[in-house]
Amino acid sequence: MRRHHFAFTLIELLVVIAIIAVLIGLLLPAVQKVREAANRASCQNNLKQLGLALHNYHDAHRGFPAGMVSSTSNTSDAEATGFTYLLPFLEQDNTHRIYHFEEPWWNPPNYQAVGTQVKVYYCPSNRAGGLLDLAPMAAQWATPLPPFAATCDYAFNKGANASLHPDAERVPRALRGPFDVRPPESARAVVRIPDIADGTSSTFALGDAAGGTPGLFVMNLFDPSQPGIDPETGQPAVIEQSWSAAGVGDWGHAWYGCVFAVTAQCLDPFIFEEPMNRPLLMPSVYGWDPYGDNRTTADRVSGFRSRHNGGCNFVFCDGSVRWVQETIQGTVYRALSTYAGGEVASVP
């Protein structure tokens, strides 16, 4: 008896392939949506841990830490960050033990700690880890630096003013966020919960500040419509920052973020907003504003930004974590970033 062998014809095979392609096309957005929902929830969990760490720190030191610690008049050479102070409250005892607080971050005793990646400092929608190669910076400034600095995807809320003057008291109180620049002797406890007159549930503590990802290009400060160019690669510069490397760039090296984010660069003599998820991101630079309130806009601080769709996650000063849409009204957004502005504000 002759056996009949069955096989796909070319047309049938093409039809099957087309059907599979359509199914993949239908399923892929759903899979991506589920993955992003999981990453966003994981990011919120990171911020909950940071909020809890802040409150435990507050209980131990009777105040929140400074966001940036600088003992000199040049905050581009700042020595430590608030993230270093939070280490023991984030189950990072090993890193805390090897960090020499009596030394600035760039001195050899801190090389190992500065290069340690801390998982809770990374947003899962952006990356799982990252290191900033400091060799180009060491060459640019002709100074020894650690080989690498571990990076970070969150930033302390500095409020609605980008002044990086070492005397933070010069910034109008109504424009300040809970975190600013302080000298070492007063950096351990700056703002206390009773100081937050606008309410802890209505004031940002930290928020998303994604970095190190292609597409997160830095603005050219001399031509805001164009990205800045990284001199090492000749390509558009990608914003990046570190939890431990405290300083900021200057107008000649305007390619980096920092541990701060703001909702405005200044509000007097004119309103210079810093919107969430700006297409070209503002770099953080110290411009020697002589007044300390950034009325010259010489100082700049990056804004909040994320790889989530349509907004950012924030932890508030009461420890709660909430999602804020990037379409939020500017006046409300700025009010949520100040702790004694006298505004009544809530997340829409």
Instruction: Choose among 133, 15, 150, 136: nearest CA to 92.
Output: 150
CB-based contact 220:253 (threshold 8 Å): no
The amino acid present at 266, given as its one-letter code, is C
Distances (CA, A) of 73 to 60, 76, 86, 167, 254: 29, 9, 25, 9, 19
At residue 298, φ and ψ (nearest 5 deg) are -70, -35
Over residues 163-169, mean pLDDT: 94
Over residues 291-305, mean pLDDT: 96
Under the banding of pLDDT at 50, 70 and 90, the label for residue 151 is: very high
Each domain of the chain, given as residue ranges in start order, spans: 37-337
SS (H, E, C) 225-247: EEECECCCCCCECECCCECCCCC
Task: Tell me what pLDDT residue 9 has.
Answer: 72
Instruction: Choose among 130, 125, 121, 120: nearest CA to 150.
Output: 130
Could you read off the pLDDT of 5-16 as tens digits, one per residue?
Answer: 555 576 766 777
Distances (CA, A) of 161 to 7, 154, 328, 347: 71, 18, 18, 20
Whole-number mean pLDDT of the chain? 92
**What does the block give as tokens for 149?**
């600095």
Over residues 186-214, mean pLDDT: 96
Could you read off the pLDDT of 224-255 as tens digits, one per residue?
Answer: 999 999 988 899 999 999 999 998 999 999 99
Q: Which residue has the higher pLDDT, 38 or 177?
A: 177
Task: Tell me what pLDDT residue 11 has.
Answer: 74
**Spatial CB neighbours of 190, under 8 Å, sequence gap ≥ 6:** 63, 64, 65, 66, 178, 179, 180, 182
Could you read off the pLDDT of 77-132 as tens digits, one per residue?
Answer: 899 999 999 999 999 999 999 999 999 999 999 999 999 999 999 999 999 999 99
Over residues 330-345, mean pLDDT: 93
Over residues 332-347, mean pLDDT: 91
Under the banding of pLDDT at 50, 70 and 90, the label for residue 37 is: confident
CB-based contact 266:272 (threshold 8 Å): yes
Q: Which residue has the higher pLDDT, 54 or 18?
A: 54
Full-prediction pTM beyond 0.85?
A: yes
Under the banding of pLDDT at 50, 70 and 90, the label for residue 348 is: confident
Over residues 194-215, mean pLDDT: 96
Task: Tell me what pLDDT residue 27 has.
Answer: 59
Could you read off the pLDDT of 39-89 as tens digits, one per residue?
Answer: 889 999 999 999 999 999 999 999 999 999 999 888 988 999 999 999 999
